[in-house]
Structure 1
Amino acid sequence: MSETPIEGAGIWSRAARGSAWTAMSFVAAQGFRLISNLILTRLLFPEAFGIMALVTVMLVGLTLFSDMGTGPAIMQSKRGDDPEFLNTAWTIQILRGGVLWLMACAVAYPAALFYDQPLIAMLLPVAAMSLLFAGFEPTRVDTANRHLLLGRLTVLDLISTLLGIVVMLVLAYVFRSVWALAVGGVITAAIRLALLSSFLPGASNRLRWEGPAVHELLHFGFWIFLSSVCGFLVSQGDRAILGKFLTIEGLGIYNIGAFLAMFPIMLGSTVTARILIPIYREHGVDTDVAALARLRRLRYYLTGGLLACLAFLALAGPFIVQTLYDDRYLAAGGVMVAICAVQMIVVVFLTYDQAALARGDSRGFFLVSAAKASLMAVGFLVGAVNMGLFGAMVGQALAMLLYMPVIARLAARHKVWDARHDVLFLVLALCLGALAVWVNWADVALLIPGSGGGFHGGRIE
C-alpha cells in the first residue's frame, strides 16, 4: 500500500503535517486573541491599548536587539541534535533572559519620559518578567521545529495561549486597568514554560558551556542579532514612530486595526520560519529538480492563499471593524485597508530569505533584512511626516518595490528565485491593493491629517 503524503515520514510529508499544524495553531490562537480583544475593548479604554502597544514595542525591541539566533542555529546546524550543543544554547538563552529583564528595568523610566507616559516606568519591568520565563524554555521546542514534529508542540502552544487569555480577561474584569494586559502576559509566559517543560518529549536541559558550541552559536548568531535589529524596525517601527507623534488614544485605535490586518502576514511568516529551513536543509532544491518543483508549488499555494486572505480583509476591513467594535474604534477600518494593501506586496517575497538561513548564510540574511528595514523605516517616516498615516502606508509600499531586486538577488544566489511567481503575484497584489483602497476610500481618507479620523497629535497632524 502506498504512503500518502500526510502519513509519510519523509521531509515533504513532515512539512505537510507541520504546515497544517502550524496554520491550525496560528488560526486558533488568533481567533482566541480576537475574541479576547473584543471583550477587552468593552472592559478597557483605547488608551490602555495605546500604552500597552508602547510597552510591547519596547519588549519586542529588547528581545530582537539581543537575539542570538539559537533557534535557527539549532534548526540548521549539523550539531543540532547534540546534547552538549543544545545545553550550551539553553544556558546562553537563560543568561540572555536575565540580561533582558535588567535592561527593561533600566530603560523603563527614560522611556516613560520620552513618550510622556509615566505608567510605563512601572509597567515595563513587570511585563518584562515574561522574558525571564522565555529564557528557560527547553530546547526541545527547537528540536521539534528542526524535525518538523509539531503536533504536541502546537497543542501545548494553544493550551498556554487559551489559559493566558482567560487569566487576562479575569484580571481585566476585576481591575479594569492596563495592568491586566501586562500581568496577563507574564502569567501566559509562565504557563507556557510549565507546559513545555512538563509535556514536551525529550531529554531535559542542564547548564553547560562548551567552547566549540559557544563559538558556533555566537558566530552564527552575530548576523542574526543584526538581522533582528532590522526585524524590529520592520515589525515594530510603525508603533515606535507613531507613539511619539500620535495621542495615546490614536495609537490604541491604530493598534486595533494593525492587529486585524497583520494576521495573514504573521501566519505566513510563522509557517515559512518553521517549514522552509528543514526543507532547504534536507533537500538540495538547487540540484534536485523534483524537489525544486515541489518547492515552487508550495510557494504558489502559500503566496496565493495569503494574498486572497489579505484581499478579503482589505476589502471588508471597515465592515469588520463596524461589526465587531464600538464607535470609538471605527477609524481602525481605514488602518486595516492600508496595512493590508502594503502587506500584499510583502507576501510576494516572503519565502526567499529562509534559504539563506538554511545554508548558514546568516550574513546574507542580515543584508536583505537591513535593506528591507531601512527602506520601510525611511518610507514610513517620510510619508508620515508629510501626509500622515496614509502617506506612511504609501511610503512603505514604495519601499517594498525598491526591496524587490535585493531579495531577488539573494534568492538567485541560493538558486531558489522564481521570477514568474514574483511578476505574476506582484501585479496581482498591486491591482488588489489599489482596488481595496478605491472601494474603501472614505475610510482610508481618515488617515490623512485634518480628516478628523482620530489620528491627531504631534507633528503628523
Structure 2
Amino acid sequence: MNRISSLFQGSNLRVRAIRSSVLTVGGFGASQVIRLASNLILTRLLFPEAFGMMALVMVFIQGLYQFSDVGVGPAIMQSKRGDDPHFLNTAWTIQAGRGVLLWLAASVLAYPMALIYGEAQLMQLLPVAALTLVIQGFNPTRLMLANRHLQLGRVTSIDIVTQLSGIVSAVVLAYLTQSVWALVFSSIISSLVQLVLFRIYLEGHRDRFEWERPAAHELINFGKWIFLSTLAGFLFNQSDKMLLGKYLPLDQFGVYNIGFFLASFPLLLGISVTHKLLIPIYRERPPSESAENFAALRKMRFVVSGGLLAGIAILALVGVPLVELLYDSRYYQAGAIVVIIACMQVPQIIVLTYDQAALAAGDSKRFFVLAATRAIIMLSALFIALETYGLVGALFSIGLAMLVIYPVVVWLARHMGAWDPLHDISFAILGLGVIIVSLWVNWGAIAELAQVSARYSG
C-alpha cells in the first residue's frame, strides 16, 4: 500500500502523469456510466428520429467549432509563455470573440442546412443549440492551465457535475416535452453550469479582455495550422455522420448513432487520455532526446493500447447481445453496428499516441499534413463504399482507410523520434485476431444488417 501511495505523491512529471491518468480514466468511466444510464432512459422517452435530428445538430455545431479553431488550448499547453498573464488574456479574448462569431454564423447557416438535409426544424434548432458556443467561449484559461500542468482533480469533478446537470435536465425535459428540444436545452444548461463551476472552483489566473501584439502573433502563427488541422479533423471524425445523415432515413440514422455511442467508448477514452497527457509529457520528456525517454513512452504506449484493445475486444464480441439487453426492438440493428465499428477502430488505437508529439514540439504544420491526409482518405473511402456497398460497406471502409493512412502517421512519428514499430506490430497481430473472432461470432447479425442497408440504397 505504501508503494502504491508513493506513486501518487509528489510533483515530478511521472507522478503528475500517473495521477492525471487515473483521474482521466476514472472521470471518463463515471461519465460513460452516466451517459449510458441517461441514454437508456431517453431512448424510452424519445423516438429514434429525435436522436437522428440531434445528431445532425451536433455535427453542425461541432463543425462550426472546429472550422474556426485557432488552437488556443494547445498553444497554452505547449508555449513557453503559457503561464504569462498577458498571453492568457489575449488567448481568452480570441476565444470569447470566436464564440460570439460562431453563434452568428450558425444563425445565418441554419436555413441552408435545413434545405440540404430536408429538415425544416433545423432552422429553429441550430441557432438555439449554437448558444453553447457562446457560453464555452467564456470558459476561463485556468482550464487550459490545469491541463498544461497535469492538475486535473477539480476539472474532472466539475466535468462529472456538469454532465449530471445536463442529463437530469434532459430527462426531465424529455418527459415533459417528448421532443428533441429537450436535448437542445439540456446542452445549454450543462454549458452554463460548467462555466459557473470553472469560474468559482478553478484556481489561478483571472481572465480579462486584453490584446497584446506579441502574444496575438504567436497564437495566430501557431493557430493557422491548427485551424486547418481541426477543419480536417472534423471531416475525419464526422464524415460518417455527414454522409450517413443524408443517406439514411432519420430513424435509422438515430439507430446508427446509438450503435456508434456504444462502440466508441474505448476510442473516446484513449483520445481523452492522450490529448490531456501527451503534450505535457512530450514537451518535458521528448522521445528523441534520450533512450530513457523513449523507453518510458513505450511502456506508457503498451499500457494504453493494451487497455483500449481489451475494451474493443469486449464490445466487438458482445455488441449484439448487449444492445438486445439494453434497448428495445427499435434499436436491434445497432448491435451489428457496434461490432463492426469496434473492429474497425483497431487501427486507430494503434497510432493514437503519435500525433501529439508534433503539437508538443510546436510543429503544427506536420500535424496539419497528417490531419488533411486522414480527412481526404476517410471521406473518399466512406463515399465510395457507401455508394457501392451501402451502410455495411461504409462501416468496413473506416478500418481500411486507417491502413492507407498509416504510412503518413509513421512519417510524422519518425520525424519526432516517437515511432515504435515493436508496439505497432504487436498490436496489429493482436488486433487482427480480435477482428477475425468477433466478425465470425457475429456474422449472422452483420449479414442481416447488410440486407436492411441494401433496402436503403434501393
Query: What amino acid does structure 1 have at the position aligned with 2:439?
Result: V
2:49 is matched with 47
Q: Give the number of aligned pairs.
A: 456
SS at match of 1:243: helix
The answer for the alignment partner of 1:425 in structure 2 is 427
Q: Which amino acid aligns with 1:103?
A: A
Q: In structure 2, how many angstroms separate the alpha carbons of the residues matched to 1:54 and 1:305?
A: 31
Cα distance in 1 for partners of 2:72, 2:268 equals 21
Native 8 Å contact 1:46 1:253 kept in 2: yes
d(CA) in 1 for partners of 2:379 and 2:435? 20
**Correspondences of 1:145-164 after superposition (within 5 Å):** 145-164=147-166
Corresponding residue for 2:263? 261
Identity of matched residues, %? 49
Note the C-alpha offset of 1:456: 5.1
* Aligned residue in 2 for 1:188: 190
User: 1:431: how far off?
Assistant: 2.2
Whether the 8 Å CA contact 2:287–2:416 is kept in 1: the answer is no
What is the match of residue 226 of structure 1?
Answer: 228
> TM-score with structure 1 length normalisation?
0.97
Instruction: Name the counterpart of 1:87.
Output: 89
Write out aligned runs for 1:253-402 (5 A): 253-402=255-404
Provide the rounded CA distance (Å) in 2 between the counterparts of 1:97 and 1:67.
10
**Counterpart secondary structure, 2:6:** coil
Cα distance in 2, alignment partners of residues 367 and 284 from structure 1: 21
In structure 2, distance between residues paired with 1:446 and 1:239: 22
Runs of 4+ with >3 A deviation = none
Return 5+ residue gaps in structure 2 as ranges: none
1:262 maps to amino acid = S
Checking the alignment, whether the CA contact within 8 Å between 2:165 and 2:189 is kept in structure 1 is no
What residue number does 2:178 align with? 176
What is the RMSD of the two structures over their aligned residues, measured on CA atoms?
A: 1.3
2:452 matched to which residue of 1? 452
Residue 452 of structure 1 aligns to a residue whose secondary structure is helix
Q: Given residue 12 of structure 2, which amino acid in structure 1 is its aligned partner?
A: G
In the alignment, does 2:100 pair up with 1:78? no
* Superposed counterparts of 1:33-72, under 5 Å: 33-72=35-74
**Match of 1:157, as an amino acid?**
D
What is the rounded CA distance, in whole Å, between the counterparts of 1:452 and 1:158 in structure 2?
38
Report the Cα distance in structure 2 between the residues aligned to 1:24 and 1:212, rounded to whole angstroms: 39
Q: Which runs of 5+ in 1 are unaligned?
A: none
Q: Which moved more, 1:313-322 or 1:287-296?
A: 287-296
Q: Which residue of 1 aligns with 2:218?
A: 216
TM-score (norm 2): 0.98
Q: Which residue of 2 aligns with 1:28?
A: 30
Q: Distance in 1 between matches of 2:65 and 2:436?
A: 35
Shift of 1:394: 2.2
CA offset at residue 291 of structure 1?
A: 2.2
Post-superposition CA distance 1:384-410 (Å, at most 9, x none): 111111111222221111111110111
| Contact 1:75–1:143 (Cα < 8 Å) also in 2 | yes
Task: Flag the 1:281–1:248 CA change in 2: closer, same or farther, 3 A.
Answer: same
For 2:381 and 2:398, the matched residues in 1 are separated by 5
d(CA) in 2 for partners of 1:407 and 1:217?
25
Give the deviation of 1:452 after TM superposition.
Answer: 2.8
CA offset digits 1:34-75 (Å, max 9, x no partner): 100100000000000000000010001001100111000000
**3-state SS of 2:83 partner:** coil
